Structure 1
């Protein structure tokens, strides 16, 4: 099958999201004048080592946020955000935090995710996440299309849960890491293997 996106695919569901998979999930926590927010984004990844930098993309809007979502609106206001990495057994809490709630609703309370304060930025984080990356906004890029924004941030603080650090190496959490596939499909990373690159 071949199709040009501008012509449509003719399938019952858009295949694009299923082609680039699995994708890590950035569980983004923010704070703004309307309160705290927590929401998952599967267009997320690390983009640089020195200084460490990450990105996520927000691709739709809420009627109470003038062309974007709560996360981007809060980051525009404060210039900071935290990326929490989702453990496999946190899928129910993560999914609950994705509800299209009003801007003043705290998704930490709505989902039951434990909230603690970050160390380097004025922002909450998920207290039991295996890893959390405190970030300072570097830029928001407006992408082609409606309500598409790329958010880039420099990591200013890193939390690693004690059970995910063994002999100086980061390990998978007990229930693995949650990843996004296409459609409504998810997967859990539970196994790893080492591979030596040529020249190493």
Structure 2
């Protein structure tokens, strides 16, 4: 990730857990901005830049999302589904931290695009250790960069492996590599 101003988004409806997670991150040396949200509905408003979240200087796009699953108004599954439905945001590392160890919850979270799933630790020391490890790991990972509007920054992929993947803003357009392959296949079949 190695972003100069990483922002952490924590989506957790339990105020005690919010406090403990933020405290664990701070005590493990995290100085990045942390935004605490109470449910999935608020998280979607944050990502969409609605209401108070329209100030992108104050509420920058997150480089790391930590979400609970079981929340009253809109759960973590809805957040994962929302992020997955928008390819620009599906690349943001999204970690589920839930008290649920149910295998169906774990499977569903991964199917909806969770980057990792962790059962909430029972002690503050274990939580501090887990937050430190998660933060250090995800802050050293490389993920596609997004601009201040939340869109992935376009890359020059010509001649690279990524050339075959659509770029931001190329919705519905085949890449040049795919176009050439398709054209070559059509030429060969018409010659037969």
Q: From the CA coordinates, give the structure whose radius of gyration is larger.
A: 2
Q: Would you say same fold, with TM above 0.5?
A: no
Larger strand fraction of residues: 1
Work out which structure has the larger RCO, using CA pairs closer than 8 Å and 6 or more positions apart in sequence.
1
Provide the TM-score with structure 1 as the length reference: 0.24
Larger helix fraction of residues: 2
